């Protein structure tokens, strides 16, 4: 009952005209980001950080959250219409969404995707509403060893779950930690690795690195790939009605996707993408028509598209209740909180309840807005897709560079944006996922603070970390993951040897 | 090949970082100092990058990568460096106009009038937005 009252108070905050307008702008930008394949959620939020300086903090955060969950709504549009995922989380939607489009059912696929996103997004939000406050309450008992354990296990799980090589992801995360050590050490006040350059004293700005890795990196990728312009079908509003059979086959996958997405979203890593793949596999296994998968099965659109939206709400739980971001987009959202002087974490709910509940309530409103806005505007989005990338990308490049400059009014920052842009482009070419680097950069200071303060508290006894029940539970989870990785690696190696011996 | 070069660069980078980290006091377990985490992170990065290089040489994998137009990449890079160089000399509006027009041509936008018009309108719009609306002190 208490939660309901607080949520109602949150609604009263989120329906203030300025906040409502921010929500509408956020979800619209988010949908556009999802629709346009060359622009990523992380870089879009990073790009818009300077625009929020003059805004009220609640309105700014409502807008950023809107971009985050809105982008997952729009991601399916290009997957269904042109077989190009607008977002990584919509890759799997191409498998059945595009074949549906080829059969003339693009409208139905888009409608099912939007309705599924709404239903699962609401499931995720209910989970967020119920879980975030008790977790924040529990986190008040966390000391430095617990925070260290959480950050460490978060990084271990992240390396396992990025979808690329575990080794590469782990290396990226460690490089992120290394970058976080550059600048003034908050514990001792000593400048580290700055080589007398004053500009480096403040360390690397998260948004600068994100704009480089994701923004300029994406621009370089888009501009150096010569892709043929795809044929985009025209979708009219009347085409959006699914048939009775399509409805019946979609309802259960939507709810199942919502639950799967929420559970996966609680884990570190690109939860939206992983949950969509898990949901697709699950739907294929549960379906009465598994042979239709890959040829336009509606369950293959309903399940994954629902899962990725539910996962988004779940990823907000560790950010808002613990202050720890476990994926690239929440890391950049944290940056948004920080520039407005707000530290997410256990104290947020007690010190700024209006912001905490206002943000959650705005997500419910945004979810409804997305459903209302998205379906009638499908035609507009289709037209937008026809914008040539050779016009769009140079404009995005100038906005990114100007946005990066405006953060500290520094040309030095632009040099870093370009450097990280080139690095991001090259890394993606050779299969390194840049997200763990961003997470490492964010979690690095937390990890260092937790480790050094924890060791001081425990008088240098590293084993004392394990005797603390909470830290021990978290650390054992990390140990299980490492052990599992090791056993899998040894088994694979043995199997390879056996195969070679047989041959 | 690029993969091996990048892994090698990571290895060299980790070694260099670890070398520099020696400048800071490591401390002890009961009193860790500013060199504590840098040393641990440097060693971990060194181990991981060595393992990666070992794996790349031991198990050869061929991955299908999309073709990249490296000439375009080089031209965009030159454009970005040029933009940084002229930004403080000619000011934001002129530099952005030139940079936009250059990028449009690198991106094979046909004709002269349309790229010129979009470059002019784009740089003017961004100038107004950042300078007047967001009060950013642009060069």
Could you read off the pLDDT of B62-113 as tens digits, one per residue? Answer: 555 667 888 999 999 999 999 999 999 999 999 999 999 999 999 888 888 9
Three-class SS of A421-454: HHHHHHHHHCCCCCHHHHHHHHHHHHHHHHHHHH
d(CA A144, CA A173): 20
Q: Quick check: A414 and A404 in contact, CB under 8 A?
A: yes
A402: which chain B residues are within 8 Å (Cβ-Cβ)? Answer: 92, 96, 126, 130, 136, 138
Which residues of A, range 332-371, sit inside 8 Å of B by Cβ? none
B10 touches chain A (CB under 8 A): yes
pLDDT at A473: 87
B89 touches chain A (CB under 8 A): no
Please name the member of B3, B34, B106 whose beta carbon is closest to the beta carbon of A187. Answer: B34
Closest CA to B122 of B86, B96, B89: B96
A390 touches chain B (CB under 8 A): yes
A55 touches chain B (CB under 8 A): no
Q: How confident is the model at residue A235 (pLDDT cuts 50, 70, 90)?
A: low
pLDDT at A73: 80
Phi-psi region of A144 (alpha: psi -120 to 50; beta: other; left: phi over 0): alpha
Taking residues A233-256, what's their average pLDDT?
A: 80
Q: Quick check: A249 and A117 in contact, CB under 8 A?
A: no
pLDDT tens column, A399-409: 889 888 887 88
pLDDT tens column, B110-122: 888 999 999 999 9
pLDDT at A44: 79
Whether residue A82 has pLDDT greater than 80: no
Whether residue A19 has pLDDT greater than 80: yes
Q: Which two tokens stand for residue A112?
A: 């099912």
End-to-end C-alpha distance for chain B, whole angstroms? 41
pLDDT at A237: 62
Whether residue A231 has pLDDT greater than 70: no
pLDDT at B92: 93
Q: Which of B2, B8, B37, B133 to mutate to test the interface with A (most CBs of A within 10 A)?
A: B37
Q: What is the domain range of residue A402? A: 2-467
A50 touches chain B (CB under 8 A): yes
Please name the member of B20, B76, B84 whose beta carbon is closest to the beta carbon of A415. Answer: B84
d(CA A81, CA A306): 18
Which residues of A, range 218-277, sit inside 8 Å of B by Cβ? 220, 223-226
How far apart are the CA of B121 and the nearest CA of chain A, in angstroms?
Answer: 11
Task: Tell me the three state secondary structure of residue B20.
Answer: helix
Q: Which two tokens stand for residue B123?
A: 């740089």
Q: Quick check: A173 and A434 in contact, CB under 8 A?
A: no
pLDDT at A492: 82
Closest CA to A27 of A80, A65, A79, A78: A65
Whether residue A282 has pLDDT greater than 80: yes
Whether residue A38 has pLDDT greater than 70: no
For tokens 């016009």, name the residue. Answer: A391
d(CA B123, CA B134): 15
Q: Determine, yes or no, domain membership for A290.
A: yes
Task: Tell me the three state secondary structure of residue B31.
Answer: strand
Whether residue B134 has pLDDT greater than 80: no
B107 touches chain A (CB under 8 A): yes
Q: Determine, yes or no, domain membership for A485.
A: no
Whether residue A385 has pLDDT greater than 80: no
Q: Which of A50, A212, A224, A465 to mutate to test the interface with B (most CBs of B within 10 A)?
A: A224
Q: Quick check: B4 and A147 in contact, CB under 8 A?
A: no
d(CA A387, CA A36): 9
Which residues of A, range 424-463, sit inside 8 Å of B by Cβ? 425-427, 429-432, 444, 447-448, 451-452, 455-456, 459-462
pLDDT at B49: 94
Q: Who contacts B59 (Cβ-Cβ below 8 Å, separation ≥6)?
A: none
Q: Quick check: A264 and A287 in contact, CB under 8 A?
A: no
B70 and A409: CB-CB below 8 Å?
no
Whether residue A53 has pLDDT greater than 60: yes
d(CA A334, CA A195): 29
Dihedral over alpha carbons A275, A281, A286, A287 (to 10 degrees): 110
Q: Determine, yes or no, domain membership for A34.
A: yes
Highest mean pLDDT among A163-172, A360-369, A370-379: A360-369
Question: How many Cα atoms are found within 13 Å in the side-chain-facing hemisphere of A341?
Answer: 6
pLDDT at A422: 93
B96: which chain A residues are within 8 Å (Cβ-Cβ)? Answer: 398, 402
B137 touches chain A (CB under 8 A): yes
Taking residues A321-349, what's their average pLDDT?
A: 84
Closest CA to B17 of A112, A377, A177, A285: A177
Highest mean pLDDT among A57-66, A132-141, A329-338, A346-355: A57-66
B77 touches chain A (CB under 8 A): yes
Whether residue A230 has pLDDT greater than 70: no
DSSP string computed for A376-432: TTHHHHHHHTTS-HHHHHHHHHHHHHHHHHHHHT-HHHHHHHHHHHHHHHHHHHTT-
Are β-strands A191-192 and A183-184 bridged in parallel, bridged antiparallel, or unpaired? antiparallel
> What residues does B28 pair with on adjacent strands?
B31
Taking residues B5-30, what's their average pLDDT?
A: 91
Taking residues A88-99, what's their average pLDDT?
A: 82
Q: Which of B1, B8, B24, B41 to mutate to test the interface with A (most CBs of A within 10 A)?
A: B41
Taking residues A86-95, what's their average pLDDT?
A: 78
Taking residues B49-69, what's their average pLDDT?
A: 77
Are β-strands B31-32 and A191-192 bridged in parallel, bridged antiparallel, or unpaired? unpaired
Please count the other Cβ atoms lying within 10 Å of the Cβ belonging to residue A435.
Answer: 26
Taking residues A129-147, what's their average pLDDT?
A: 84
Q: Quick check: A401 and A417 in contact, CB under 8 A?
A: yes
Q: Quick check: A332 and A44 in contact, CB under 8 A?
A: no
DSSP string computed for A288-344: S-GGGTTS--THHHHHHHHHHHHHHHHHHHHHHHHS---SHHHHHHHHHHHHTT---
pLDDT tens column, A480-498: 888 887 888 788 888 888 8
Helix (H) or strand (E) holding A219: helix A217-224
Please name the member of A193, A399, A429 whose beta carbon is closest to the beta carbon of B126. Answer: A399
Number of domains comprising chain A: 1
Burial class (CB in 10 A: 0-12, 13-18, 19+), A413: buried
Please name the member of B29, B33, B73 whose beta carbon is closest to the beta carbon of A224. Answer: B73
Q: How confident is the model at residue A306 (pLDDT cuts 50, 70, 90)?
A: very high
pLDDT tens column, A471-480: 888 888 888 8
Phi and psi at A124, nearest 5°, equal: -60, -40
Task: Tell me the three state secondary structure of residue A101.
Answer: helix
Q: Which of B34, B43, B49 to mutate to test the interface with A (most CBs of A within 10 A)?
A: B34
Taking residues A294-302, what's their average pLDDT?
A: 88
Q: What is the mean pLDDT of chain A?
A: 84
Per DSSP, helices labelled H in A36-105 are: 41-48, 57-82, 93-102
B93 touches chain A (CB under 8 A): no
pLDDT at A164: 65
Q: Quick check: A459 and B30 in contact, CB under 8 A?
A: yes
Q: Determine, yes or no, domain membership for A324.
A: yes
A460 and B73: CB-CB below 8 Å?
no
Instruction: Name the percent of chain A lying above pLDDT 70.
Output: 94
For tokens 């970082």, name the residue. Answer: B17
Q: Determine, yes or no, domain membership for A60.
A: yes
A84 touches chain B (CB under 8 A): no
Q: Which two tokens stand for residue A429?
A: 């070419």
Q: How confident is the model at residue A180 (pLDDT cuts 50, 70, 90)?
A: very high
Whether residue B48 has pLDDT greater than 60: yes
Give the C-alpha distances (Å, rounded to integers) separating A402 from A38, A237, B138.
Answer: 19, 38, 8
pLDDT at B65: 63
Q: How many CB pairs under 8 A join A and B?
A: 163
pLDDT at A221: 86
Give the C-alpha distances (Å, rounded to integers) separating B96 from A281, A347, B101.
Answer: 48, 44, 8
Q: Who contacts A19 (Cβ-Cβ below 8 Å, separation ≥6)?
A: A13, A56, A58, A59, A62, A358, A362
pLDDT at B61: 63
- Rounded to two decimals, the ipTM of the complex is 0.92
Whether residue A91 has pLDDT greater than 70: yes
A414 and B24: CB-CB below 8 Å?
no
A23 compared with A384, residue with greater pLDDT: A23
């Amino acid at each position: 009952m208490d939660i309901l009252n607080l949520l109602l108070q949150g609604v009263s905050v989120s329906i203030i005209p300025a906040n409502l307008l921010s929500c509408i702008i956020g979800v619209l930008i988010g949908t556009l980001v999802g629709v346009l394949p060359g622009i990523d959620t992380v870089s879009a939020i990073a790009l818009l950080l300077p625009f929020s300086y003059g805004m009220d903090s609640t309105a700014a955060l409502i807008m950023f959250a809107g971009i985050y969950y809105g982008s997952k709504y729009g991601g399916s549009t290009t997957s269904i219409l042109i077989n190009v995922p607008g977002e990584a989380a919509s890759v799997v939607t191409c498998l059945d969404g595009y074949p549906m489009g080829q059969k003339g059912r693009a409208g139905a696929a888009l409608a099912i995707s939007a309705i599924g996103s709404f239903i699962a997004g609401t499931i995720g939000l209910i989970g967020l509403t119920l879980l975030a406050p008790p977790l924040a309450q529990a986190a008040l008992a966390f000391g430095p060893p617990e925070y260290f354990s959480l950050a460490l296990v978060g990084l271990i799980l992240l390396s396992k779950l990025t979808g690329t090589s575990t080794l590469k992801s782990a290396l990226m995360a460690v490089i992120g930690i290394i970058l976080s050590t550059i600048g003034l050490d908050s514990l001792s006040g000593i400048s580290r690795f700055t080589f007398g350059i004053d500009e480096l004293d403040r360390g690397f700005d998260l948004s600068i690195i994100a704009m480089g890795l994701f923004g300029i990196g994406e621009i370089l990728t888009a501009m150096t790939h010569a892709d043929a312009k795809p044929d985009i079908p025209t979708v009219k509003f009347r085409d959006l009605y699914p048939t009775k059979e399509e409805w019946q086959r979609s309802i259960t996958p939507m709810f199942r996707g919502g639950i799967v997405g929420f559970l996966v979203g609680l884990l570190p890593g690109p939860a939206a993408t992983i949950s969509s793949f898990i949901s697709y596999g699950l739907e294929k296994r549960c379906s009465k028509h598994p042979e239709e998968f890959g040829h336009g099965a509606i369950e293959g659109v309903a399940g994954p598209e629902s899962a990725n939206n539910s996962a988004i709400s779940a990823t907000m739980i560790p950010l808002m209740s613990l202050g720890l971001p476990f994926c690239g987009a929440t890391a950049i959202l944290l940056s948004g909180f920080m520039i407005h002087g707000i530290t997410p974490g256990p104290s947020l709910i007690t010190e700024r309840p209006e912001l905490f509940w206002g943000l959650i309530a705005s997500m419910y409103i945004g979810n409804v807005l997305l459903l209302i806005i998205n379906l009638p505007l499908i035609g507009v989005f289709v037209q937008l897709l026809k914008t040539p990338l050779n016009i769009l990308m140079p404009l995005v490049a100038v906005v990114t560079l100007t946005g990066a400059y405006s953060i500290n009014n520094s040309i030095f920052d632009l040099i870093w944006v370009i450097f990280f842009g080139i690095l991001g482009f090259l890394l993606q070419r050779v299969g390194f996922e840049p997200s763990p680097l961003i997470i490492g950069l964010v979690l690095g200071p937390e990890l260092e603070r937790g480790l050094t303060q924890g060791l001081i508290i425990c008088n240098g006894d590293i084993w004392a970390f394990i005797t603390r029940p909470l830290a021990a539970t978290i650390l054992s989870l990390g140990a299980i993951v490492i052990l599992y990785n090791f056993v899998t690696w040894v088994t694979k190696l043995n199997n390879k040897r056996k195969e070679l011996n047989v041959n | 090949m690029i993969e091996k070069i990048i892994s090698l660069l990571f290895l060299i980078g980790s070694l260099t970082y670890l070398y520099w980290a020696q400048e800071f006091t490591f401390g002890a377990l009961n009193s860790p100092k500013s060199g504590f985490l840098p040393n641990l992170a440097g060693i971990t990065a060194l181990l991981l990058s060595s393992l990666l290089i070992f794996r790349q040489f031991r198990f050869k994998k061929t991955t299908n990568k999309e073709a990249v137009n490296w000439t375009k990449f080089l031209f965009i890079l030159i454009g970005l460096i040029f933009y940084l160089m002229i930004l403080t000399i000619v000011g934001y509006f002129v530099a952005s106009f030139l940079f936009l027009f250059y990028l449009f041509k690198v991106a094979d936008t046909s004709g002269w009038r349309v790229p010129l018009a979009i470059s002019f309108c784009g740089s003017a719009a961004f100038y107004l937005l950042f300078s007047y609306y967001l009060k950013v002190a642009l060069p």
